[in-house]
Amino acid sequence: MSMINREVSDFFVQAYQNGEFKTVTRDDILGEWSVFFFYPADFTFVCPTELSDLQDKYEDFKAAGCEVYSISTDTHFVHKAWHDTSEKIGKITFPMLADPNHELCEDFEVMIESDGMAERGSFIINPEGRIVSYEVSAGNVGRNADELFRKLQACQFVAEHGDEVCPAKWQPGDATLRPSLDLVGRL
Q: Per residue in 5-49, pLDDT tens?
A: 999 999 999 999 999 999 999 999 999 999 999 999 999 999 999
* Domain count within the chain: 1
Establish if 151 belongs to a structural domain.
Answer: no
pTM of the model: 0.94
The model's pLDDT over 50-79, given as tens digits with 9 standing for 90+, comes to 999 999 999 999 999 999 999 999 999 999
Laid out side by side, the sheet with 20-25 consists of 20-25, 12-17, 96-98, 66-72, 33-38, 120-125, 131-137
Provide the pLDDT for residue 180.
Answer: 60
The answer to whether residue 165 is domain-embedded is: no
Buried b (16+ CB within 10 A) or exposed e, 15-30: bbbeeeeeebeeebbe
Q: What's the chain's length in residues?
A: 187
Helix (H) or strand (E) holding 70: strand 66-72
Structural domain contains residue 2: no
CA pair distance 160, 155, nearest whole angstrom? 9
Task: Tell me how far apart the alpha carbons of residues 158 and 176 are, in angstroms, rounded to a whole number.
Answer: 10
Q: Is residue 109 part of a domain?
A: yes
The pLDDT value given to residue 87: 95
Q: Which residues are catalytic?
A: 47
**Is 106 among the domain residues?**
yes
Interval 181-185 mean pLDDT:
61
- Predicted local distance difference test score (pLDDT) of residue 174: 87
Which whole number is the average pLDDT over 142-160? 96
Domain-embedded: residue 138: yes
The pLDDT assigned to 183 comes to 57
* CATH code, domain with 105: 3.40.30.10
What pLDDT is recorded for position 139?
A: 82
Is the Cβ–Cβ distance between 134 and 46 less than 8 Å? no
Q: Domain for residue 114, yes or no?
A: yes
What residues make up the domain containing 58? 12-144
Confidence bin at 163 (pLDDT 50/70/90): confident
